[in-house]
Each structure stands twice: as C-alpha cells, then as structure tokens.
Structure 1
Amino acid sequence: MKNLAHLFTLIFFFYLIPAQAKPIVPKNLHGFWSYKAAKVGNWNGTLIGDNYVEYNYRMYMVDSVKNSNGITKLWLNTRGKDLLTLEIKAPAYGKALLKFNRWEKEISCAWNASDPDIKVYSKYEIPSYYFGKWVSTPSHSDFYITTKHKMLYQNKEWDIAWAGNYMDKEDRFLLKDKDSCRMVYVHKLVKALKLNSLEGLKIYVPIAKNPLVYQFLGNWINDETNAWQYGFFEDFAIYNQKVYPYKSIEKNGKSLKITLLKDGKEKNIQFTAKNDSVAQLVDDQGIINVYLLKKEFKANTTKDATSFKDSHFARVDTAVITGYLRNPTSNKPFSVGFTDHLKDEQVNYYGDLDSNGFFTLKIPLLNTTQVFLDWERNGVIDVIEPGEHYFYFEDSSTEVRSTMGDNSGFHNELLNYRYYGPYSRTSESDYNARRNADLLSFLAISKKEHQQAITYLNKHLVKDPNASNRFKYFVSEGYKYKMGFDLMQKRFTLKQGKFPEPFINFVNDSLYKNNPPKPFTLVRDFSSFKRDYFAYLVSNEGSSVKWDDVLAEMVYLKQINLSFKEKEALLAEIELNEIGSTKDSLKYLRLLKGFSPEKRKLADSVRRVYKEQIIDRAGQKLAFKVFDKELRVAKDIENEDLRESIIAGRFYKYLEGKHSAMPDTVFARFMGNLKNDFYRSEIEKLQLTYQNMSKVDVEYKESLKRTDHLKDAKNADSLFAELIKPYKGKVIYVDFWGTWCAPCKGEMPFVKPVKEALKGKDVVFMYFANNSPEEGWKNVIKEYELSSENAVHYRLPEMQQNMIETRFSINSFPTYILIDKEGNVNTMKAPRPSDKEQLVIAVNTLLTK
C-alpha cells in the first residue's frame, strides 16, 4: 500500500510533464532498485526512469541500451568523464541483479515503484522557503520555484516531476526539461541551501535586498599591507573586528557610496572597482588604498621576525575569538580543541552560532598552543597565544578563511597553508610496505618522509621568501615531531620490550635531547611524542610489589585486626614464603616442621577475609613505586618547563586515575619535586577535592548494592539472573566500567541528560565496576552524580565480576548492554550515553514491547 501511495503521488505530478522524453529504457526496469546498505541513511539504491539513471548523488541521461541473453546494459552520459555503465540481469518477481562498472561485484536488488524512504510532497507541501529567491555567487545563478510552479535552476525553468523529503535529511527534486532531467539534492543549512546535482555541489544564499552589493561582495585584502581589512556581505560589512549593518548603498558616478551604521555612528566608504578583483576604497578620513578580492593572501612583502610568546606556564590567560561562519554546514557551535598538557587529554571549547553565523569564544590558555579550529566541520590548524583577540572568518562553500586582529598576518599564513601529506602521494604497495616494515626500515622510511615534507616546505618558502619566522618554525617543528610521533607509536609493536639501538639513539639524540619546541605546547605531535617516549623510558625499569610485604606491613601498622593466633600463623607463613624464595632449604624445613595444618588454615583464612584490602593496598604501593620511578626519569630532563610539566602530569594522572587523595606524608614527599607555582596550586586543589569528597556520603546510598552474600556464587547465569531479578518489567541499561578507565569516565558526563530524557519511565541504569578500589569507586559515583533512584551500582567480588564478564565476553571497557523487560539481552552493543538520541530511541523501543 505504501508503494502504491507513492506511485499515485508520482502520477499526480507527472500530469504536468509533456510527453517529450524519449523512452529508451524498458518499462519493466523503471522504478527504484534497492539493496541493503551498511548503515541506515547511506546510499541504498538506484532510481531508473524512461531515459535516466540515478547513481550516487548524480542523475545521468541514458545514451544507449543493449539487450542480450537476459541482460540489459545501459551506457550513461558522464559528459566526457570516466565510462559509466549499468548491467541489469534477470529482472523478475520484483528482483534483479544490478552491477555498475564501478562496483566490484553485482548486487541483488529489490524493486519498488519509488524510494520508500522518500516522503513525496504534494504540490502544496513543498517548504515555503523554496519560493523565496536564492542565489549562488559569484555565478549569480538563481534557484527557486516560480509562480508557475516551475523550478528556476541553472538559469532555465524546469518542470518538477516530483519533490520529496529523504529521511528528514534532505529534499530531492526530479526536474525535467524536454529530453533532459536532473535530480537535485537539497540540504537546508543555517542560512543557505546546499545543492548537489550533475553540475556539482553549490551553495545558495538568500538574494540580497540591494542588488548593488554584488558589485563588491567578498573579502578585500589591502594590497600594501596584505591584511584583510573589509568583508562585505549581503546585509552587513565586517571592519576592524566589528560587524556594521548597511544603512545605504548608492551609486556615485562610477563609484559606490557605502554607508555603514553601528551604535548610531555612520562610517562612509567610497568603492571604485578597477576590475572584477581590484578596487580602490576611500574611507572617512580620506585614506586611499587599493584592495584585492582574492581567496588567498599573496606572499609577504616584509619580514616578520617576531617569536612566539612563552609564558613559562606561570598562569592561565584568556584568548578571545569572535567570528563569522558564512554558509556553515550545520548550526553546531564553533569549537577550538587542543591538548591539555596537565591532564594529557584533548579539551574543547565551544561558541554558539547565532542566527547569522556569528560567535564569540573564550579559551583559557597556559601558554602558546596549537589548536584545531572547528574540526568537526572544516577543521583547520592554528596557533593561539594567551591573551590575544582576533576575528575569524570562514566560508564553507569556498573554503576562504581570513582573520583580522592580533597576529592576523601569522594566522592568515597558517590558515592558507596546505600541509604536506605523504599518504596522498603513496601507492598502496608503498603504504603496505611502510606498515609492515621492520623497525630499522621504518626508521629509514620516516626519515625520508620527513625530508620530503621539509622539501615541500622549502618550495613554499621560495614562493614566499618573507614568510614569518613563526610560520617557518611552527611548520618545520610540526613535521619533525610528526616523524617523532610515528616512530614512538611503534613501541606498541615491540616484542622484546626495547627498540634496536640505532632506532632509539636517533630518537633520543635528534628528537628528545634536541631542544623541544619553544614553548613545547606549540606542537601537538610533540605532546604525543613526549608521552610515548617518556612511557618507553619508564617501562624499561621494572616495578613490582610482593603481596606478602604488603600484608606484613598492614599487620605491623595494625591496619587489620587479628587475634594473636591469626597474627602468629600469618607471619610464620610469610617468613616461610620468604625463605623459600631464597632456597635456604634447611631453615625452610625447620620452620615448616612447626607450621601445622591448623596454622596454614588460619593464615589462608586471613588472606581470604582481607583479600580486597590487600589488593587495594598493593595497588597503592605499586602506584607509588611507579611514581617514584617516573620522578627519577623526569629529573634527567634538562628543559625546566618540560620537566615540571611531566612531573605535574604524573601527579594529575595518579589522582585522577585513583579518584582518591594521597596519604599526606606521601603527598608532601612527592610535592617536594614540583617547583612551578601554577602546577603546585592545581595539584593541591585536586588533592583537597578528593580529601573532601571522601568525607561526603553518596547520595541515594541505596544505589550501592552490597554483594558479600554473592561471594560463593559459581554460576554466571544464575548470578546475573539474581542481580537483575528485582527489576523485571523494566528496561535495564548495563554499563561495564572501571575507575581506571578514561573512556568510561569520558562517557559519564552524558548520563545525566539521558536520565532526564527518560525521566519517569521504567528504566534502570545498572553499573558493574571492574577492579575498582572502594574509595575511588564511590568518589567517581559522587563526582559524576551517578547515583539515583533508578541507578544500581555493583562492585562484585573479583571472581564473580570475572564470571559475569566472561559470560558476556566483555573484553573492552566501557561496554553497554540493553536488557528487555523480560530479562533477556536485547543487544550487546547498546548506544553510548554520548549518543543520547539513539540510546533514548533504543530504550523507548524496548519499553513499548
């Protein structure tokens, strides 16, 4: 019935079409041929008409058709580009095998009268904005529906065969004109339309109120200073980092008089075009300058020997970016991302776009830092100094990027530089050879790639001999530590634990001991290189803790309560184990003679009772030993800023990883190694946070379930059934996590919005903590507000936790599972909390069953 409704709607539209299109494709092939896509929303079929075929966001006219032995072959008109053909084999009973020559193999397809994922609009359901005028600049090609209900596109009118919406993602129009047709795919942007068709991808914006604006629309660069000084757009201008609405645009002889108005004050500009890309502008003060309308900045005419600002990590200062995104592909906030060197993680700051595409963003920075601007949309690399202010412009349709304000010359150099990418120039065989190379061969390949990158940079500098010192330094250091990052990533492939001597000597002498970037936060890949190299150095010094040593210390410090007999039996067993390891057989046999079965039984009982405390204490002592080892390695680093950063980072990693404070004496000893006042302040605040957190009870303490009674459980299925039994009739969202797991904790801030979306519904959030000490476990729950009336937290005994993880094949963390209302596993790959929309849909679906 659904296909029939589509067919009737299409017939309704086709009455508008003159019977002029020459039908050359057999009627039994007309329709939508669908196949299973890898992901919902991906391209999943092809539409075939009387003289056209739709293929991968393009509508092609059919040049010729040949039938032979049950196979129909269509030759498609690609306008002189690569050959495109379609073979259709054995069409019958709504099935056929289709193969485009660009496919590796034929695909079984099912016939539909039309694409079932398209909701076809009636004549009166087409969105109203299509009836307003849209224009693509600089071609000034219009796109809109006329009063005659025809589509003006590519400067001619087309009949609309049909129009519809595809899965709320985009609109589609099938346009016809005599013997030709077009499929136009339209995605509504914030203030623009993105059109994809046979002519390619184009952006259309609302037509300007004053058509004179098209005579000077765009960014104008001062020919003398090479600075972006004016940006003129449909409704406003940008000057001196501020937005000025137009008051008027008037002809003045061969010139235009542009009057801007802001805060009650006028600014007048006389614009005289010399040609399409050169103009003379005269401002209020009578200053005359020549400006160029260009996508890219020309080579610098003067040298800039400025160095990067280096604060030596004394304090945080705020940088401010204001900006305008023209034709953004989404209304998502503008983002700035960079590596937080204290936390050793990527952090992002966001500025919301207003209805016109403007944003303001404040970024706290400890030192000059490499950043990624708007990475999700049109990501570019930049460097920002603490305290600077600049205005950023980007046009998504033309990829024009410009800045004005602090350090704008340097920013514009970076934003318009195309980085060397060796893989784009590498054949598949060379790529595989690189990936599979032994370590010394990989070193040689990496050196060669680095030299190629430097050669590429030098060619750029020939064209721009006055490139700033900052540009040359940043790019060259970036290429160097891209090599360093690639080399140190190979530590994860080591089989013997150590690199070959020539390999590690090159890394040590050429990259590590050779002064780091100044400041070292300047190059992101240095951060990754430093982390991996430091971890390699530390890993070559072994660390271990004996459980018996830990247990003996706990006995002597009276951290566990034992009777005289328990203490005697336990210490005797510890001494036996120690002597056994020294191979002193005579003493061992003498002590063993007095160690009765009753004493052994008593000692083993103590170990079982206090196993969890022993594990926690051993883990803490091991962490302190590793920390000591890291401090020893860090002290050999000559660069003070880098050394202090690494020590502070290890502190932060310990406290954040454990989610509990250090003992005061240990904390004071370690803090003696840290001199930087800013880092000391941050670490002391974190220590105090966890000290205070441990003094506060978990809200909704009922969320934390006692599991002592389960320690003798031996069957995973019956154990899990027992745990979920109280929640039968509810959907259960299960989270396997651990206090040590950074990705697990990275998802936890997203849990609260999910709970809000499912508030009042029969849903339980159930957590299983792997290898998580009690104090840290509770602190994570408190820190991320994970306790609630519909939350259940388990910290099972080690054996029972392992049983359940083995039962469900949990081999990565976090893992999310959905349990239906009957207690059956619905999916082992439930959406993460950060995928709120899909998770809520999945839960609501189970609630309705």
Structure 2
Amino acid sequence: MNKFVLISVLIFLAVSAAAQNVIENPRYGIKSTNYIELTKVELTDDATILSFHVTIPQNNWVAIHEKSYIQPVGDTTKFYITKAEGAEIGVQVHWEKDRMEEISYQLFFPPVNSDVTKIDFGEPVANSWNFYDVEIREIPHRSPVPDELLGNWFSTGTGNWAFSFFDSLAVYDGKTWEYASVFPTDDGFEIKLKNQEAETMLHCISKDKNQCVMQSENGPLSTYSKDAGLLAIMKDDGPFGVPLVNPGKVVYSGFIQGYSPRLGVSTGMIRHLNPMNNQMENYVIRIQKNGSFSVEFPLDLPQEISVSLPSGGERVFFEPGKSLFHLTNSKLKDYPSLFMGESAAVNYGLHETMEVATPQMAFIDGIIGMPDEEYIDYVLETKKNELERLENLQNEKTIDKKALQIRKFDIDFRAANNALRYNGNVNLAKIYANQKLNEAEQIAIVPLDFNLSLLSKFNDTPVKSDLAFVSNEYFSLLQSLKYMDLVRQQGAYYYRLLALEEELKEKNTNFTGEEKDMFEFIRLLAGNYDGEQARNFNQTYREVLLKFNEKHKDEMVEISNRFYLENIETNLNAMEIEPEGLPMEIIALQNYLAGLQNEKKPLNEAEFEEVKEVVKTNYLKELVFAEYYREKAQREVSRDEDTPELKTEGDKLFDSIIQKFRGKVIYVDFWATWCGPCLAGIEKIKPLKEELAGEDVVFLYITNPTSPENEYEKKIPDIKGEHVRVSGDEWNYLTEKFNIYGIPHYALVDKSGKIVNAHLMQMENSELKKRLLEQLGK
C-alpha cells in the first residue's frame, strides 16, 4: 500500500511539473524603465503569468494597459492580456505620500507553445513599459566563453571594474571587442579579442563562479571578482584643481547590455544646458546593432549632464579632454551603470551620494504658513541634515574626493538658493496643495513679506570659489541671484517696462494711444501690485504689450540685463558677500556669449572689448577670446560659397522633408498631441492660415512617436497644414539640428530651403504674418 502511495505521489509531482514551470527572476535582455521589475514567470497549460513589482514615481501614477501583450521572439503573433491580479486593468494607481509607493501584481496571458524560449512584453503606446528577450525556458550555452567566465569582473586590488565577458562581445580597456577565438589551456582559457583598431589576448583562469585570475599580453597576473562591492575601495585621482574651465573634447563610449534592434531605436541623446552661455546643446549618440556606441562632444568645464539611451536616462559626469566608458543595464542591483576611464571614480562617488539631497517635494512639504524667519531656520536645518548624511556616508565607505567636493558645494548652493526662493517654494507648495482641494478651499497665492537681512545667515556660501563650477546647483543659484527681485517681488517686470518707457521718452519716441493707456495701468501695478488687477491687465493689454516688446526687444534686453545686475548686487549685499568678482563676471560672460549665438546680430567689436574689461579672471577671459574668434571664423566660412557644406543626418532628413515645398516659405512647428501649449499655439494661428490661404506659405507640423498614433490621426484633420510623424531616431537628429530643448518649438524656412530662424519665438499673428510676407517678398 505504501509503495502504491509513493508511486502515486511521484506521478502527481511529475504531472504538476509538466503542467507548470516557474522561473524566478527570469533573465532578460533589456527593459524600458527602471521603475518596474519582472520577478517571476509561470508557464501553465492555461496561461503565461508574469509577476511585476513596480516602484511608482513620485507624484506620478502607473496603469496596466488593456492591450498589454507578450510576443514570442522571432514571431509576429501577439498574445494579449486576459486578466490581472493585484491591480485593475486600465485603472491608474497614484503615488501617495502617506499611502503607497510600490505595487506588485500579476498579468495573465494565453499559453505559449512549448518550443518558445524567449518572449517580449510590451504595450502598444508611446513611452510604454517593455521587456525584451525574457527567457522563459532554459537555453543552451551559446557563448564561445565558458559560462563561469561570463559577467562583470572587478579588481580585488584596486576595486576598478576591469573587464566583462558577455555572450557575443567583451568589454576591456574602455573598449568593446569581438571574440576572435577562445582556446582551452592546461589551466584556463586563451581569449583572443579584436575590434577595428587592434587585437589583444587575455589569459583567464577560473577559480570558481565568482573569482578568476587574468593576465593581459603585457600585464601581471591579477585576481578579479564578480563582487561589485569592490567598487567601494576604488582609488581616485584626488580632488579638483584650478582652473576648471579648460575647454576640450569628451570621448564618451559604451555598451548597452541586452540591446536589440527590435527596440526600434538606434540613437540616444546628450542634452547639455551649457552654463556659460545658457544655451541648450544636443548631441546624438549612434548605437550599433551590437549595442555599442561612441561619440565625441565639446565641453568647457566638468559637468554632470543628462544622457538618454534606450536603457533609460541618467546623469553622467564628464570632464573636458577625458574619456569615459559606460556600461548600462549592468543587471547589478546596486550599480545599474558601470564606468571605466578617467571620470569613472567621480561617477561612482556621485552614485553613492545621490540620496544626500532632500527631494524638492519633501522639502516644500509643510512650509505653507511658515513666516520668513522660520522658513530660513528650516532651510539651515535641512542643510545641516544633508551635511550629516554626507559625513555618515563618508565614515561608512570610501567616497571619491571629487564627488565629495561636488556634494558639499551642492548642499551650500542649494540652501542659499532655497533661501532666495522663499516665495517661489511656498507658492509651489500651495499649487500642489490646491490640486487636492475643492474650489472653496483653494489657498490664495499671494506674495509674502521677506526680510532681506535674513540672507546674511548664508554669508559663508562659497559663490566666489574657482571650484564652484563643478556644481550644477551653483548655476541655479546664480540664476536666482540674477532674477529674484526680492524688493519688488511681483512688480519687478513692470518696473523694467517703466524704465524702458523713460528711456524711449528721452529718445523722443512716439507712443500710440493704446501704449500710453497701457503704461498708465503699468504705473498702477508697479506702485501697488494686485493679482486680480494683473490678470485684468493681461487680458486687456496682452497683444499691445507683445507688439510693444517686439518693437523694442533690443532695448528691453539691455534694460533687463541692467536690472538683473542690480538684483545680483542687492542679493549678494544682503548675504553680506561683496558683489564684485566671479558671480558678476559669469553673468556678464553668459549675457555676452548668449548674444554671440544670435546669427542675425552682427559681431560687435565694442561689445567684445567691453566684456574683456568686465571679465578679469584669466580662464574666463580666455573663454571669451576662444568663443569670439570661433564664432567669427564660423561666420566667415558660412559666407564663403566655395566652402563645401558638410551635411549631418539631421540636415539630410530635414532637406528630404521640405524638398517638395521648395519655392514656398515654411513655418515649422515641432509639437505633440499631449502638449497643451502646442495645441494652444496651433489653435491661435488658425485665423492666420485663413488670411494666408492664397499665399505660398506652408505650415509644417512635425511630431514623434510620443504622439500616440490613434490620437495623432484624430487631431490632424483639424490642423490645416502639412504633417510629418517621424521616428524616435529621426526626432533625435532633428533635436540636434535645431537644438530643441522643449516643445512647442518653431522655425522659419525661406523659399530656397534655408533656415532663417531656427528658434522662432511665439508671437502675435500680426507679427508672424509680417515675417512670413517679408520672406515671400525676397
């Protein structure tokens, strides 16, 4: 009897095992976001079940798309979701401060055939959540390198990430390599690597699954481990020295582990707001089919910059004249990115210390109702807490000295910036609070009194340090010092307009009746600002003011810059910091270099001489010289008709788009279906299109895959003009060409196809009509 029972149990277990296969933490190639983890796959006779764990982004939401699907790799068949457990299909789950930040759920799909070894998971929308190459059954070893050597290896002596062996390629010495050959030896393996530049040989001996010794052709035999924790002992090359401003080229290369051309994206983007000229600079990263990439770009000073790749976006620290190799999607929980090269240590240090900063939403929570003195004490307490967190980390582990410098500067400058932004932060807190209140409960957003003398508590802020440039927070602080008029918090703009009026009167400028009435209203607002009256002013004089500003924009820029310098002096004096020196020089440099970018404005020798007098610091003065003569040479080359034109991918793409419109003036609008300001701008110029219906003017609308195709198809019939929906890669090329940093973005193209304004500002229909007709008349 017992024997019978035992046989029955074994049969039951065998049948169960055949009917259900469970894969915990399945291997996959790449995913589209770091917010979601695939924790388990269950294969039964009735279903394919995927278990997910999601960290909901702050102030955001997640939802299960009703058309979520799985798809066997190599097959076009999609299996759509049948049900969900743990969350409802199509229902948004919101981030709540006191309730839920994480959620786990299961998605059910029809069963897949028993011969399927890999599947993709996806959603049929832009910015979807995807997993590629999810392994749902055991796959035979497919790499020439033995299984025990596959993975990322770290030096047990220095802590550096030294090399990696993947299925089809290796990373070593800051480069990607193909396997030329792998031969067994008496004690290990000879692995010959090659790329387009060189060949090299590595002798590897596996000690166990997590340790090996390796010897390169000319190097010693060294021990390596798969323990990424060794990065904590990585040696750095000391703190930053001066001068920091030392323009040079950055060589940025890397490998996206698990990359597949099936992602439909073969480019990434470097988006850099150059703090020296306040201009956006975009550089396309071209990704090879094997997931490797390499790009060079210019940089004036060490900076943390936004990098967007198919594996996700992150901030990466670069230094002029230095190289950096970046492995993304490393599959290591604590180190999703690995770095090699001269800027590796500082990137690890910044990663280790990124939790030191108090998140902005956490900082503004509870500040509604705080009087200015209590708020300043709160800012100082926050600064103290951040310094303590940094010190604790420093005591627990070895932190790169450059990263420590950056974080200490960050803490100092962030605190001073928050002090200056008392009203701005309180108003932001009110805006978020009002989103949860009904109309009767809305909190009024009005300026609060602020005692300037409280800023003296920040007199130790190192705004004149030659090393301050390494902190992005420094440049944010400079912007606040420049734009924050704490004496006239709400009426500052109106004071600038009154100053412009006085200057124009001295020049005997004639004013229209509408303009005279407008200035009477402005005098009222400048003397006694009132929110309701300001709204009335905007409704009544909006078009008059736009026309006036367009007519006198050069004079307004000069007056605004004068006011901004006064703001800096006032704010620094309140902080008990002498205004003369680095901050004033940087603002003067920013103003000059921003103007230098304006191709329509002729180079002005007098302005060049003037800024040389203001900028006393040698390395900043050298930058003025370099940028002036670079711009001068570039303009001379562009005027030389015999100089061959080197076309970028963006140039070629845009030329192909506008080819059929040659002979017509083109108004280009980069937009998206989800962009409120874009749609408002489109609606606004509808009457203008009717006025120009008989003219050779084309209204060209360009969008990208973030505009869902079904929404796009619904909207374009109501938008008169020519429409193009480009791919994600094509959008990146156009972003680089036009230096797009946000949408809507407008450009103007003449009849010959030449871009006459790559950054056309939004303006009233009458002014836009004037510009279009001017181009038609040429």
Aligned to 1:764: none
Cα distance between partner residues in 1 of 2:636 and 2:169? 54
Confirm whether residue 550 of structure 1 aligns to residue 491 of structure 2. no
- TM-superposed CA distance for 1:291, in Å, is 0.7
Q: Quick check: 1:220–1:230 contact (8 Å CA) kept in 2?
A: yes
TM-score (norm 1): 0.52
Query: SS of the counterpart of 1:510?
Result: coil
Letter in 1 for 2:484: Y
Relative to 1, partners in 2 of residues 1:409 and 1:124: Cα closer, same or farther, differing over 3 Å?
A: closer
Aligned to 1:150: 114
Relative to 1, partners in 2 of residues 1:205 and 1:432: Cα closer, same or farther, differing over 3 Å?
A: farther
- TM-superposed CA distance for 1:124, in Å, is 7.9
Aligned partner (choices 406, 413, 416) of residue 484 of structure 1: 416
Equivalent residue runs for 1:689-708 within 5 Å: none
Q: Quick check: 1:322–1:392 contact (8 Å CA) kept in 2?
A: yes
Aligned to 2:342: 406
Aligned to 1:221: 154
Q: Quick check: 1:401–1:415 contact (8 Å CA) kept in 2?
A: no
| Cα deviations by residue, 1:803-843 (Å, 9 ceiling, x for unpaired) | xxxxxxxxxxxxxxxxxxxxxxxxxxxxxxxxxxxxxxxxx
Aligned to 1:506: 457
Aligned to 2:124: 167
Letter in 1 for 2:402: R
Q: Quick check: 1:659–1:780 contact (8 Å CA) kept in 2?
A: no
Aligned to 2:253: 322
Q: Quick check: 1:295–1:400 contact (8 Å CA) kept in 2?
A: no
Q: Quick check: 2:748–2:756 contact (8 Å CA) kept in 1?
A: no
Cα distance between partner residues in 2 of 1:298 and 1:119? 37
Relative to 1, partners in 2 of residues 1:417 and 1:279: Cα closer, same or farther, differing over 3 Å?
A: farther
RMSD of the TM alignment (CA)? 6.0
Q: Quick check: 2:67–2:123 contact (8 Å CA) kept in 1?
A: no
| Cα deviations by residue, 1:274-314 (Å, 9 ceiling, x for unpaired) | 33222222333472211111234343276x5623254454x
Aligned to 1:388: 322
Cα distance between partner residues in 2 of 1:504 and 1:267? 60
Relative to 1, partners in 2 of residues 1:461 and 1:358: Cα closer, same or farther, differing over 3 Å?
A: same
Q: Quick check: 2:302–2:470 contact (8 Å CA) kept in 1?
A: yes
Equivalent residue runs for 1:645-794 within 5 Å: 645-653=586-594, 660=601, 672-674=613-615, 676-679=621-624, 682=627, 724=690, 727=693
Equivalent residue runs for 1:234-249 within 5 Å: 234-249=167-182
Aligned partner (choices 267, 274, 278) of residue 340 of structure 1: 274
Cα distance between partner residues in 2 of 1:664 and 1:528? 30
Relative to 1, partners in 2 of residues 1:499 and 1:681: Cα closer, same or farther, differing over 3 Å?
A: farther
Q: Quick check: 1:316–1:386 contact (8 Å CA) kept in 2?
A: yes
Cα distance between partner residues in 1 of 2:663 and 2:270? 37
Query: SS of the counterpart of 1:678?
Result: helix
Query: SS of the counterpart of 2:337?
Result: strand
Relative to 1, partners in 2 of residues 1:278 and 1:529: Cα closer, same or farther, differing over 3 Å?
A: same
Letter in 1 for 2:276: L
Query: SS of the counterpart of 1:234?
Result: coil
Letter in 1 for 2:320: P
Confirm whether residue 525 of structure 1 aligns to residue 473 of structure 2. yes
| Cα deviations by residue, 1:547-567 (Å, 9 ceiling, x for unpaired) | 476256247xxxx9xxxxxx9
- TM-superposed CA distance for 1:630, in Å, is 4.0
Aligned to 2:225: 292
Cα distance between partner residues in 2 of 1:781 and 1:799? 13
Aligned to 1:643: 584
Query: SS of the counterpart of 2:238?
Result: coil
- TM-superposed CA distance for 1:619, in Å, is 4.9
Query: SS of the counterpart of 2:306?
Result: strand
- TM-superposed CA distance for 1:168, in Å, is 7.7
- TM-superposed CA distance for 1:686, in Å, is 6.7
- TM-superposed CA distance for 1:224, in Å, is 1.0
Relative to 1, partners in 2 of residues 1:316 and 1:208: Cα closer, same or farther, differing over 3 Å?
A: farther
Equivalent pairs: percent with the same residue?
A: 10
Cα distance between partner residues in 1 of 2:198 and 2:502? 81
- TM-superposed CA distance for 1:382, in Å, is 3.5
Unaligned runs of 5+ in 2: 1-14, 21-35, 37-43, 55-60, 79-111, 428-444, 524-543, 573-577, 640-661, 668-682, 702-718, 727-745, 771-778
Relative to 1, partners in 2 of residues 1:232 and 1:725: Cα closer, same or farther, differing over 3 Å?
A: same
- TM-superposed CA distance for 1:341, in Å, is 1.4
Equivalent residue runs for 1:23-38 within 5 Å: none
Relative to 1, partners in 2 of residues 1:656 and 1:273: Cα closer, same or farther, differing over 3 Å?
A: closer
| Cα deviations by residue, 1:511-559 (Å, 9 ceiling, x for unpaired) | 3xx345543331112111111122225975854336476256247xxxx
Cα distance between partner residues in 2 of 1:471 and 1:756? 44
Deviates more, 1:260-269 or 1:243-252: 260-269
| Cα deviations by residue, 1:440-484 (Å, 9 ceiling, x for unpaired) | 3333333333322222222221222x4332122112222333333
Instruction: Specify the structure having the higher radius of gyration (Cα).
Output: 1
Cα distance between partner residues in 2 of 1:794 and 1:501? 37
Aligned to 1:356: 290
Aligned to 1:461: 394
Query: SS of the counterpart of 1:297?
Result: helix
Cα distance between partner residues in 1 of 2:309 and 2:408? 22
Unaligned runs of 5+ in 1: 1-16, 23-41, 43-49, 60-77, 82-103, 128-147, 155-159, 172-184, 196-201, 561-566, 582-609, 705-716, 736-750, 759-777, 802-849
Q: Quick check: 1:327–1:396 contact (8 Å CA) kept in 2?
A: no
Letter in 2 for 1:359: F
- TM-superposed CA distance for 1:250, in Å, is 3.8
Letter in 1 for 2:114: K
- TM-superposed CA distance for 1:755, in Å, is 6.2
Aligned length in residues: 550
Cα distance between partner residues in 2 of 1:755 and 1:319? 37
Confirm whether residue 306 of structure 1 aligns to residue 306 of structure 2. no
Relative to 1, partners in 2 of residues 1:503 and 1:153: Cα closer, same or farther, differing over 3 Å?
A: farther
Aligned to 2:738: none
Cα distance between partner residues in 1 of 2:638 and 2:213? 65
Cα distance between partner residues in 2 of 1:633 and 1:165? 52
Letter in 1 for 2:350: L
Aligned to 1:472: 404
Letter in 1 for 2:232: A
Query: SS of the counterpart of 2:225?
Result: strand
Query: SS of the counterpart of 1:360?
Result: strand
Cα distance between partner residues in 2 of 1:402 and 1:119? 30
Aligned partner (choices 344, 352, 355) of residue 419 of structure 1: 355
| Cα deviations by residue, 1:41-72 (Å, 9 ceiling, x for unpaired) | x9xxxxxxx999999x659xxxxxxxxxxxxx
Query: SS of the counterpart of 2:171?
Result: strand
Cα distance between partner residues in 1 of 2:348 and 2:71? 46
Letter in 1 for 2:306: F
Q: Quick check: 1:318–1:387 contact (8 Å CA) kept in 2?
A: yes
Cα distance between partner residues in 1 of 2:451 and 2:594? 30
Relative to 1, partners in 2 of residues 1:546 and 1:205: Cα closer, same or farther, differing over 3 Å?
A: farther
Relative to 1, partners in 2 of residues 1:779 and 1:238: Cα closer, same or farther, differing over 3 Å?
A: closer
Higher relative contact order (CA 8 A, sep 6+): 2
Q: Quick check: 1:309–1:368 contact (8 Å CA) kept in 2?
A: no
Cα distance between partner residues in 1 of 2:146 and 2:229? 21
Aligned to 1:131: none
Relative to 1, partners in 2 of residues 1:166 and 1:730: Cα closer, same or farther, differing over 3 Å?
A: farther
Letter in 1 for 2:345: G
